[in-house]
Amino acid sequence: MRRFLVPDLDGDTVDLPVDEARHALRVLRLRIGDALILVDGQGGWAEAVIEVVDGKRVRCAITARTVCPPPTAAALTLAVAAPKGGRFDDLVRAVTECGVGRIVPLRCARVSRVPDAARALRVACEAIKQCGRCDLPEFGPVWDIDTLVRRPEPCIIADPQGAAPCPGPRRPTILVIGPEGGFTDQERERLLAKGTAVRLADTILRIETAAVAACAVWTAYWEHHG
């Protein structure tokens, strides 16, 4: 069944948001009696049937509901020096599919770019509908290096000179992906005093590739080792 994002699943009936209703009617050609799945982006999930189509309005009757457990990788925060334009969209889409719990743009000496939070949220909304996830990752606020090193969570820094990844038990963890020019020597020194450097591959990875690789390593380990 097709999935739709509906922020409020309270009540026995719900109206699809305007954009979702347009997609249901014009693109998917759904009609009265068709079944669909609704998610609220906060872990809520419901099966429903379309009972009213009135112009642009689509009203659904909920037939079953549950609360989805958070994904395995919800304990991960990705702190990342944002790449430009569509590349950041690709990053958000992929790490949302991995299940990451939070995406934080990282401001550092070689990158001060602040991505559009509303655009990132739209990308994440589409990703959770595609991948079967029921909750949206948190987005932001922007961190600088000072903020990052003061965080209480263990910190894993992607670094070409790092050791092999060793995720260990599932717990709140920050994965740090720096800019393509790398951190400055001073930034790197401060980060390594705070956390652990790991090498993800023996090749040079783009920001979005490194982000997905790191999330996938931690997610897979936690998924298979409890």
CATH classification of the domain holding 204: 3.40.1280.10
As a whole number of angstroms, the distance between CA 205 and CA 192 comes to: 20
Confidence of residue 1 (pLDDT cuts 50, 70, 90): confident
The verdict on pTM exceeding 0.75 is yes
As a whole number of angstroms, the distance between CA 155 and CA 37 comes to: 37
Same domain, 34 and 87: no
| Half-sphere exposure at residue 96, Cβ-oriented, CA atoms within 13 angstroms | 27
pLDDT tens readout for residues 61-112:
999 999 999 999 999 999 999 998 789 999 999 999 999 999 999 999 998 8
CA 174-175-180 angle, 5° bins: 140
Same domain, 19 and 85: no
Which structural domain, as residue segments, surrounds residue 31?
A: 3-67
Catalogue the E-assigned strands of 21-84: 35-39, 44-54, 57-67, 76-80
What Å distances lie between residue 214 and 4, 154, 218, CA to CA? 29, 15, 6
Same domain, 157 and 202: yes
As for how many domains the chain has, the answer is: 2
Q: Round the average pLDDT of the chain to a whole number and report it.
A: 94
Query: What's the CATH number where 34 sits?
Result: 2.40.240.20
Q: What is the largest CA-CA distance in the chain?
A: 62
State both tokens at 200.
């993800």
Under a CB-based contact definition with an 8 Å cutoff, are residues 43 and 167 in contact? no
What pLDDT shows up at residue 84?
83
Under a CB-based contact definition with an 8 Å cutoff, are residues 60 and 48 in contact? yes
Q: Quick one: which of 88, 107, 82 has its CA closest to 180?
A: 82
Q: Where among 38, 67, 96 does a domain terminate?
A: 67
What pLDDT shows up at residue 226?
67
Same domain, 211 and 167: yes
As a whole number of angstroms, the distance between CA 222 and CA 40 comes to: 25
